Chains A and B, each alone.
Chain A
Amino acid sequence: MIQAILVFNNHGKPRLVRFYQHFPEEIQQQIVRETFHLVLKRDDNICNFLEGGSLIGGSDYKLIYRHYATLYFVFCVDSSESELGILDLIQVFVETLDKCFENVCELDLIFHMDKVHYILQEVVMGGMVLETNMNEIVAQIEAQNRLEKSEGGLSAAPARAVSAVKNINLPEIPRNINIGDLNIKVPNLSQFV
């Protein structure tokens, strides 16, 4: 499970802080600070894994981070996650941000903090990886954005807006894979039901 996701810049200013397990406010700040000091010490050419130490849950927890230009993306995970898998998940997250903001930079994260959170919610939900398919994530976000636009434009006619919103359907990429031989269905289904 993912314990926390932290994004901060080269000066240790937090840009996104998301904990999936409750820590008191002071401890959260302390975790951000100490994590920053841990990763700051490390060159770019040494490994991307760190031990969390005593602050976050002890030896079962690892910090996995990536450094992009001015930002550090740090995921704190327990032993049930694959290190390299998380490393690529960070990549997916950043690439998605890049798609949604068109050449994402630190300023986007600051001024659209709420949007970054929405994107993150589509990738990781309650500490579990929800979606790793970039197109799917972007599609969800775009659906929400359309909602925003329609809302802005229809503010004069609230009733119509409401009905419009209600009729919006999330796009469904055809992912049904029951096509002939390409069946992923679990074989002995009847046994369960």
Chain B
Amino acid sequence: MSDIVEKTLTALPGLFLQNQLTGGAAAAKAPFSSRLGGLVRGITALTSKHEEEKLIQQELSSLKVTVAAPTTTLKMMKECMVRLIYCEMLGYDASFGYIHAIKLAQQGNLLEKRVGYLAVSLFLHENHELLLLLVNTVVKDLQSTNLIEVCMALTVVSQIFPREMIPAVLPLIEDKLQHSKEIIRRKAVLALYKFHLIAPNQVQHIHIKFRKALCDRDVGVMAASLHIYLRMIKENSSSYKDLTGSFVTILKQVVGGKLPVDFNYHSVPAPWLQIQLLRILGLLGKDDQRTSELMYDVLDESLRRAELNHNVTYAILFECVHTIYSIYPKSELLEKAARCIGKFVLSPKINLKYLGLKALTYVIQQDPSLALQHQMTIIECLDHPDPIIKRETLELLYRITNAQNITVIVQKMLEYLHQSKEEYIIVNLVGKIAELAEKYAPDNAWFIQTMNAVFSVGGDVMQPDIPNNFLRLLAEGFDDETEDQQLRLYAVQSYLNLLDVENAFYPQRFLQVMSWVLGEYAYLLDKETPEEVIAKLYKLLMNSAISSETRAWLIAAVTKLMPQAHSSTIVETLIQEFTVSLDTCMRQHAFELKHLRENVELMKNVLPVDKSCEGMVVDASLSFLDGFVAEELNHGAAPYKPHHQRQEEKLAQEKVLNFEPYGLSFSSSGFTGRQSPAGISLGSDTSGNSAETGLKETNSLKLEGIKKLWGKEGYLPKKENTATDEVEAQPISQDSVIMENVDQIITKRDQPPALTQSKEEKAKQLLASSLFVGLGSESTINLLGKADTISHKFRRKPKVKEIKSGEITSAHTMASSSFNSLSNEEDYYLDTLQDRGDKELKKLSFNSELLDSESFTELHMVEKLSNCNLSASSLFADNNLEIFHPSQSTAVSVANEVSLASSLLEEPTEHMHSDLMEVCNNETISVSSYKIWKNDCLLMVWSVANKSGSELKNAMLEITSEENLKVTEQVECCLPIIEAESTKNFQCSVQMEQPFTEGILSGIINYQMMDSHSVQLEFSVALSLLDFIRPLKISTEDFGKLWLSFANDVKQNIKMSESQAALPSALKTLQQKLRLHIVDIIGNEGLLACQLLPSIPCLLHFRVHADGLALWFRSSCSTLPDYLLYQCQKVMGES
């Protein structure tokens, strides 16, 4: 090869000259195979970026001519493509060649096709418009008899393929699953997996084929199918529990060395396969004792076998440990796993150490004592030269932070923070420090200083909720008023000191925090006068480095301080200066300041001292302007039109196509409340003018929508708890800090002469004792807030109870004929059976009933009643009936549960709701929840029951949601006291921001026992799209109008069995399970409508034909139809 290269290189200058002179024709004659070499050598010979650019541009322009020339053969084109790929890799645009790449893939022979496909997959992306041109080629190649062509087509499909064209190739690829060559089967499986990733609803029906692939006689195909299973089990493990046995058997055979030798890698049998399987088992066994029991043996075997000292065995070991800690615990295995973690942590190999730390971080929540074992190693890692190791160590420390070691840990984090420059790391770490500081701060001074450090380092990159939370904390305060004032005073003083430093630079956010605090709380100062504070703020205002947003904060602070000041020369100069400012915002503020200064009474009303937390009554309807408006109207002014009205009129005038949905009854809710300017007055007596409202808005904190990390009760009670411990812990930690920093002090102190340890070692041990203080003893584990060790012991007991309560509630709902959860399997079973029985009866009454929009609930009620009848007639004697005769021993607890359930179900009878489900419990407390499907929102009701005989204090329920959900209207989530054996209810409404199939709402409940241990429990509730779907009641006419106005549509045919193919039964399923409103039925077509809360409509048109159902969705939201279609397929598949 090198000969050729040499030859080309010597000929290179000539070639380029020739090329430039004679253009495409000459280039075509040049030896194509060597042109790439020339290009590469040319580039490497160059020294500057500029020259490289010139050369490549030259190359690209000559290529452009060549590829466009009709004389260029496919063979030359192939060579050109490689050069184009090279240019693209270096970051130059070669988009003129894209179409030629596609052409090459279409027309070339095998070799040329291969280059064409490669170029296409490197150049284009899934949504590129040119990609559509490739579809036909792919289809052709998939049908080819040549294996290599098929392979190439499958490869390109799995790299890039347009989503909407999947149906074109899907059947072909499905056929390939039966291909005789394993490589084809393997690639087909991966291509289908890719489809599952980009368009899950289109490959619904092939899940059964994935199962076949799992049982393929070739190991490679089976391994490929594991990708799919790992993914699907991660999404929803419960539907794949039946496969656990199979996975275990496979793993057993792999570990046992039953695979052919060529699967070995460094004499480890198929390590990657083992890793995949272990991950799958970990997901399957999570919180499931029965499933976990199946895998204990094989995990033990894996641990035992993986003893060879090679990198990849450690990979297997690591996965083993991870799995053992994920599944239902078994003490024997946990011990072994803990020993393994030790091996990792103590390993001299840095990669293994990193993983060891990672494993510790993961395990620490279950077993804090493990951190104690390795404390010295962790200390060493804190000073490791590798920043990644350091970061992982800090992450570990973050997990074990408690009120006793907080100072040391935060100090370590700040040290790291000062060294790192990457924004990503700073944002992450700053958030953690702020969180820890708020949770465990030992005293005011420390807290303020730590937050100062956070603000000055995190500055303008940190999450905005950190300063917001901090200010909120200062403003709201705690129970103890004097403590609050001290904290505020300390903050004010520290900021004044910081501002005194000459030439110091502070981030804008920090300055904003300072100005707010100074403005609100400078009155607490006794030495400095308000004038001095104003002078300092004024100095900042005149600083040119200050952003205009910060200026607004500063001037607001000055405005607040102004009435307290006696002489106001500075304020005067300030007003003079800024009333002529070019910045309109500043000018506005200056004028406001001026007017407020003239009217002291108004000033006191608008900006009262220390009232930042109290709500202010604002006349939002601006009723005080009514007189003015009436006068203007009399003078002939045009009446005010709201924005949307103006827009509609504008649209009507322009006579263009209207893509907006027409105004519907359901969307009007968004407009009410801000319609007429002379609407309801919300307390006219305090009405001010609009400028004041604006000012107030900038001054006050925006407290809405900020996650409440820190409740009123969160701070002081915790401090009281640990007060006794702190007395002992405090001196130690302070000592160690001093020792760490100032070595001299150590020498001054009286050291016991008997100590043989080096100074360094001693410092480390002291650090260790301060870092890991409180990890060992029982009481402090609770302080970690992760009381898993306790719940372990009781896991078995509650489980039995849970089942029982589930049965009881289902019995209860049957009796009370309320809306029943769709997922309830027994009822579903009854449903179908009853369907068969009552078919005739139904058919008679069906059509009329369906057209009645209210029939939804009624229908269900009827069904429920008949369900009860059926079960009473002992058809199901073996399962349901026994619920009605609970045995004596359980009767008491059962009665308890029933009463609980019934008390809850009293109030919301007008809406449909789900069964009461217990989401978490321990021996003292139980949290249950149910959903109420209200017409305008989803209401989650949480009931917290105290089962113990003593009262619980400071219970706090906190609900957090995933990003696509929004929780609003949280009602009183703090409870100072829950009396013994009582139940409290909370509710919150949930909105969906982005459509999705399934989301999770998680929450935490905190409470304190009588002996002042605080306990925290976590729980989560799954929400599905259907929880947010409501029938949309519109007329056929409206339907028609809406249908035309929606741009996003999705069509799909689904197959159905004979029995359900009839229109009525299909309609019934859709109406019941998806909550669609039936608008109209015309022949064999049906129109249905629904809306996604709050008001995104979606319309469905469907037609029944011979063996299936043609569904056609349209909506104003682009993703909603896809998700609905998925749900539709699901319910149709079920019934």
- Please give the residue numbers on chain A whose beta carbons come within 8 Å of chain B beta carbons, in ascending order: 14, 16-18, 20, 22, 25-26, 28-29, 42-43, 45-51, 53-54, 58-59, 80, 82-85, 87-89, 92, 107, 110-111, 113-114, 117-118, 121, 125-126, 128-133, 135-136, 140, 143-144, 147-148, 151, 162, 165-166, 168-170, 172-178, 181-189, 191-193
Contact = CB atoms under 8 A, between A and B. Distances in A.
B227 A128 contact: yes
A18 to B, nearest CB: 7
Contacts of B182: 172, 175
Contact of A132 (B272, B386, B423): B272
Interface-centre pick from A82, A92, A121, A185 (highest chain B CB count, 10 A): A82
Contacts of A43: 385
Given A125-B158, A132-B265, A80 B230 contact: yes
Contacts of A16: 89
A163 B321 CA distance: 54
Contacts of A126: 155, 158-159, 190-191, 194
B215 A192 contact: yes
Given A126-B194, A170-B148, A46 B424 contact: no
B148 A144 contact: yes
A68 to B, nearest CB: 15
Given A50-B388, A59-B428, A132-B265, A140 B40 contact: no
Contacts of B89: 14, 16-17, 113
Interface in B196-245: 208, 211-212, 214-215, 217-220, 222, 224, 227, 230-231, 234, 242, 245
Contacts of B311: 84, 87-88
Given A110-B40, A184-B253, A147 B110 contact: yes
Given A110-B40, A173-B262, A47 B118 contact: no
Interface residues of B, number: 94
Interface in B107-153: 109-111, 114-115, 118, 122, 125-127, 145-148, 151
B148 A125 contact: no
Contact of B424 (A14, A51, A151): A51
A147 B148 contact: yes
B350 A45 contact: yes
Contacts of B40: 110-111
A26 B90 CA distance: 11
Given A92-B265, A126-B194, 19 more contacts: A14-B90, A46-B385, A46-B386, A47-B386, A49-B388, A51-B391, A51-B424, A82-B315, A84-B314, A85-B315, A87-B315, A111-B5, A114-B118, A121-B118, A125-B158, A151-B111, A170-B183, A177-B258, A192-B214
A28 B123 CA distance: 12
Contact of A175 (B114, B151, B218): B218
Interface in B939-991: none
Contacts of B279: 80, 82
A45 B212 CA distance: 46
B81 to A, nearest CB: 8
Interface string B761-802: 000000000000000000000000000000000000000000
Interface in B169-190: 181-183, 186-187, 190
Contacts of A46: 350, 385-386, 388-389
9 contacts: A17-B89, A59-B428, A107-B5, A125-B159, A177-B219, A183-B258, A186-B215, A187-B246, A192-B214
Q: Which of A26, A42, A125, A177 has the most CB of B within 10 A?
A: A125
A177 B314 contact: no
Given A82-B315, A144-B148, A47 B389 contact: yes
A148 B111 contact: yes
Contact of B215 (A50, A85, A128, A185): A185
Contact of B351 (A49, A170, A189): A49
Nearest to A134: B265
B325 interface: no
10 tightest CB-CB pairs across the interface, nearest first?
A: A84-B315, A126-B158, A22-B125, A46-B386, A53-B424, A29-B91, A192-B211, A186-B246, A186-B215, A47-B350
A51 B409 CA distance: 22
Nearest to A147: B110
Contacts of A107: 5
A53 B259 CA distance: 40
A49 B219 CA distance: 30
A58 to B, nearest CB: 8
A170 B145 CA distance: 12
Contacts of B346: none
A36 to B, nearest CB: 13
B126 A22 contact: yes
Which residue, A49, A147, A182, has most C-beta atoms of chain B within 10 A? Answer: A49
Interface of B: 1, 5, 36-37, 40, 82, 85-86, 88-91, 93, 109-111, 114-115, 118, 122, 125-127, 145-148, 151, 155, 158-159, 181-183, 186-187, 190-191, 193-194, 208, 211-212, 214-215, 217-220, 222, 224, 227, 230-231, 234, 242, 245-246, 249-250, 253-254, 258-260, 262-263, 265, 270-272, 275, 279, 311-312, 314-315, 318-319, 350-351, 353-355, 385-386, 388-389, 391, 422-425, 428
Nearest to B353: A47
Contacts of B389: 46-47
A190 B181 CA distance: 23
A151 B115 CA distance: 15
Nearest to A22: B125
A54 B258 contact: no
A176 B263 CA distance: 12
A88 B265 contact: yes
Nearest to B385: A46
B74 to A, nearest CB: 12
Contact of B146 (A45, A113, A132, A165): A165
Which of B194, B234, B391 is packed against the most chain A CB atoms within 10 Å?
A: B194
B351 A48 contact: yes
Nearest to A41: B387
Contacts of B254: 184
Contacts of B355: 83-84
Nearest to B222: A184
B355 to A, nearest CB: 7
Given A85-B272, A192-B212, A49 B159 contact: no
Given A50-B388, A166-B146, A88 B260 contact: no
A75 to B, nearest CB: 14
A189 B246 CA distance: 9
Contacts of A132: 265, 270-272
B351 A166 contact: no
B388 A47 contact: yes
A10 to B, nearest CB: 13
Contacts of B314: 84
A178 B217 contact: yes
A99 B326 CA distance: 40
B588 to A, nearest CB: 36
Given A84-B312, A165-B146, A177-B259, A125 B190 contact: yes
B193 to A, nearest CB: 7
Contacts of B428: 59
Contact of B318 (A42, A84, A173): A84
B147 A85 contact: no
Contacts of A165: 109-110, 146, 148
A193 B224 CA distance: 19
Nearest to B210: A192
A175 B220 contact: yes
A130 B187 contact: yes
A57 B1038 CA distance: 43
Contacts of B242: 191
B908 to A, nearest CB: 39
Contact of B109 (A151, A188, A191): A151
A113 B86 contact: yes
A129 B223 CA distance: 10
Contacts of A49: 351, 354, 388
A14 B391 CA distance: 29
